[in-house]
C-alpha cells in the first residue's frame, strides 16, 4: 500500500523539475493557499483537497518553455491550455478526478468565473490557487529583475499588484485574506526553499494517512507517464509503450501478477526525471555534445530521488531508476552491474531500448523489428542487456514491436 499524500507530494517534485532553473513553484503555491485557507476557516477535507490541487495545479505543463511563460507573464492568450490538459490528465485517475475541475478553472478570471454554472466551492478553490499562483509569478518577476534583494522588500509592491486585480482577476474576499496573512514577515520568509520544505513536511505529518492499492497507484503512474511523454513530440507515448512492452515480457517470463504490475508501473515512471531536461536537448536534431549528454544523464538519478520519498515504493524505485544501467557496469548513473541488477530492472532496460529504437527521434528514423533485434543482440554480446530477456523479444518479435508502438493520445498536445 502507498500513502496518497506522499505520492502526490513526491510527484509534485517532478512537476517542479519542469522549471529547470525555478524550482518549487507548486510547493510555494500550496503553502500560500494553505495559509489563506486557514484564515478562511476551511474544514479538514477541503484543506486536503486544496493541498493536493495546489501541488498538482500545473500537471498540464511538461515543457520548460511553457513554464517560463507562466512565470514571466501575469496573463496571456492561451493561458488556459495547460489547465485543459491538467483537467484531462486528472480525469484519467479515479483517485484524483475530484481535483480536475479545480485545475480546469485555475486561470479563469473571477469576473468570468462568478457567472459560470459551477460549484461555488470549486470556484473558490480554483480562484484561490489562481491568485497565489500569480502572486508567485510576481515574486519571480521581481526576483529576476533584482536577484540580490530579499523577497520581503518586494512584499508591499506585490500586495499592491494583487489588490489592483481584486474584482477582476481575483475574488475580493481572497485578496483581502491574502493581504491579511501576508502582512506577517514570516509569510515571506517561509517561501524560502528550506523553510518551505520544512513547513510542508510538517503539514504532511499532520495529515491522516490515506492508502491506495497497486491498481490505483498504476492509474496515477499512467497520468504522469502522459505528462512525461508530452515533454517532446518525439517521445510521445514512450513511457506508456515501455510499460506495455515490459509488462508483456514479464508475463511471458512467468513472473507473478504483482511483480508484473510493479514492472509496468516502473516502466510508466522510469523517465519521470526527464521533466528536468530542457526541451531543446530532447528536440535536438543532431548528436548531443558530451556536455549536453551530461545534462540528460541526470534524469535517471532524478527519477530515483523523486520516487525514493514514497514509502512502500522501494522496488519500483530501483527498477525504474536503473533503466540505463548495463550488466558490464558501464551504464549510468550508478554503474551498477550484473548480479546487482534485478530481473525486473533488466526487463525495463530492454523495453526502454527496444521502444526507443522503434520510435522516430530527431536524429534518426524509427527502425524496423529485425533492425532493432540486431542492435539489442549486439548489446547482449557486449554484456549490456540481459540475454534471457532479449530471448523473449526474439521468440515473439512482431508482437513485441506492435506492443512498443501502440499510440494512446488521451490529452491535448502542448502549445
What pTM value is reported for the model?
0.90
pLDDT given for residue 21 in this prediction: 57
Q: How far apart are CA 79 and CA 178, in angstroms?
A: 23
**How many beta carbons lie within 10 A of that of residue 183, not counting itself?**
11
Closest CA to 175 of 226, 234, 240, 109: 109
My answer on whether 183 and 218 are in the same domain is no
Domain final position from 155, 190, 211: 211
**Are 189 and 291 in the same domain?**
no
Predicted confidence at residue 96, as pLDDT, reads: 95
What is the C-alpha separation between 333 and 324, in angstroms, rounded? 7
Residue 274 included in any domain? yes
Residues 331 and 276 in one domain: yes
Residue 286 resides in a domain: yes
Residue 341 inside a domain? The answer is yes
pLDDT of residue 288: 87
Same domain for 122 and 220? Answer: no
Final residue in a domain of this structure, among 211, 245, 276: 211
Gyration radius of the chain's alpha carbons: 22
Per-residue pLDDT, 291: 93
pLDDT tens column, 22-72: 678 999 999 999 999 999 999 999 999 999 999 999 998 877 777 777 777
Whether 173 and 242 map to the same domain: the answer is no
Q: Identify the pLDDT of residue 282.
A: 81
| 72: CATH | 1.10.3210.10
Asked, for residue 414, whether it belongs to a domain, the answer is: no
- Return the DSSP state at 364: B
- Report the C-alpha gap between 29 and 134 in whole angstroms: 9
- 3-state class (DSSP) for residue 207: coil
For residue 57, what are the contacts with CB-CB under 8 A and spacing of at least 6? 26, 29, 86, 102, 103, 106, 129, 133
User: C-alpha cell of 328?
Assistant: 558490464
pLDDT beneath 50, residues of the chain: none
Residues 152 and 242 in one domain: no
Does residue 327 fall inside a structural domain?
yes
pLDDT at 209 (0 to 100): 86
Same domain, 299 and 356: yes
Interval 327-350: pLDDT, tens:
999 999 999 988 899 999 999 999
Per-residue b or e along 257-280, where b marks 16 or more CB atoms closer than 10 Å to that residue's CB: eebbbbbbbbbbbbbbbbbbbbbe
Q: Are residues 39 and 78 in the same domain?
A: yes
In this structure, the answer to whether residues 51 and 196 fall within a common structural domain is yes
**Which of 211, 241, 260 is the C-terminal boundary of a domain?**
211
Same domain flag for 187 and 80? yes
From the centroid of its chain, how far is CA 56? 8
Q: Is residue 409, in this structure, part of any structural domain at all?
A: no
Beta strands 211-212 and 2-3: pairing type? antiparallel
Q: Verify whether residue 274 is a known catalytic residue.
A: yes
Catalytic residue among 231, 261, 262, 274: 274
Give the C-alpha separation, 406 to 252, whole Å: 18
Q: Is residue 413 part of a domain?
A: no
Residue 380: which domain range? 214-404
Specify whether 162 is located in the same domain as 242: no
Q: What pLDDT does residue 308 have? A: 93
**Cα 326 off chain centre by:** 26
* Domain count for the chain: 2
- Residues 332 and 255 placed together within one structural domain of the fold: yes
Nearest to 355 by CA among 401, 395, 293: 401
Residue 410 located in a structural domain: no
Amino acid at each position: 500500500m502507498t500513502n496518497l499524500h506522499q505520492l502526490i507530494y513526491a510527484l509534485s517534485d517532478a512537476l517542479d523539475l519542469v522549471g529547470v532553473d525555478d524550482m518549487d513553484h507548486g510547493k510555494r503555491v500550496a503553502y500560500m493557499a494553505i495559509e489563506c485557507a486557514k484564515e478562511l476557516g476551511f474544514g479538514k477535507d477541503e484543506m486536503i483537497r486544496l493541498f493536493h490541487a495546489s501541488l498538482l495545479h500545473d500537471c498540464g505543463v511538461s515543457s520548460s518553455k511553457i513554464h517560463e511563460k507562466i512565470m514571466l507573464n501575469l496573463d496571456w492568450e492561451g493561458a488556459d491550455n495547460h489547465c485543459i490538459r491538467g483537467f484531462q490528465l486528472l480525469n484519467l485517475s479515479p483517485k484524483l478526478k475530484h481535483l480536475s475541475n479545480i485545475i480546469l478553472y485555475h486561470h479563469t478570471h473571477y469576473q468570468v468565473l462568478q457567472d459560470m454554472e459551477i460549484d461555488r466551492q470549486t470556484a473558490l478553490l480554483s480562484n484561490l490557487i489562481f491568485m497565489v499562483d500569480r502572486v508567485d509569478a510576481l515574486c519571480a518577476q521581481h526576483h529576476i529583475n533584482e536577484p540580490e534583494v530579499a523577497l520581503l522588500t518586494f512584499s508591499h509592491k506585490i500586495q499592491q499588484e494583487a489588490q489592483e486585480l481584486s474584482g477582476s482577476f481575483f475574488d475580493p474576499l481572497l485578496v483581502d485574506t491574502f493581504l491579511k496573512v501576508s502582512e506577517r514577515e514570516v509569510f515571506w520568509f517561509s517561501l524560502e526553499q528550506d523553510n518551505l520544505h520544512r513547513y510542508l513536511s510538517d503539514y504532511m505529518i499532520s495529515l491522516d494517512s490515506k492508502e491506495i492499492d497497486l491498481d490505483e497507484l498504476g492509474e496515477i503512474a499512467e497520468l504522469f507517464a502522459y505528462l512525461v511523454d508530452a515533454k517532446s513530440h518525439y517521445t510521445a507515448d514512450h513511457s506508456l509503450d515501455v510499460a506495455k512492452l515490459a509488462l508483456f515480457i514479464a508475463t511471458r517470463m512467468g513472473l507473478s501478477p504483482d511483480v508484473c504490475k510493479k514492472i509496468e508501473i516502473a516502466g510508466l515512471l522510469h523517465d519521470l526525471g526527464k521533466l528536468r531536461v530542457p526541451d531543446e536537448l530532447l528536440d535536438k536534431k543532431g548528436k548531443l555534445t558530451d556536455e549536453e549528454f551530461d545534462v540528460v544523464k541526470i534524469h535517471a538519478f532524478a527519477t530515483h530521488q523523486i520516487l525514493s520519498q514514497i514509502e512502500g515504493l522501494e522496488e519500483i524505485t530501483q527498477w525504474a531508476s536503473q533503466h540505463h544501467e548495463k550488466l558490464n557496469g558501464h551504464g549510468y548513473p550508478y554503474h551498477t552491474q550484473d548480479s546487482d541488477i534485478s530481473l525486473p530492472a533488466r526487463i525495463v532496460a530492454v523495453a526502454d531500448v527496444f521502444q526507443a529504437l522503434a520510435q522516430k527521434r530527431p536524429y534518426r528514423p524509427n527502425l524496423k523489428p529485425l533492425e532493432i533485434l540486431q542492435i539489442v543482440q549486439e548489446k547482449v554480446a557486449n554484456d549490456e542487456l540481459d540475454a534471457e530477456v532479449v530471448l523473449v523479444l526474439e521468440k515473439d518479435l512482431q508482437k513485441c514491436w506492435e506492443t512498443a508502438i501502440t499510440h494512446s493520445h488521451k490529452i491535448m498536445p502542448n502549445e
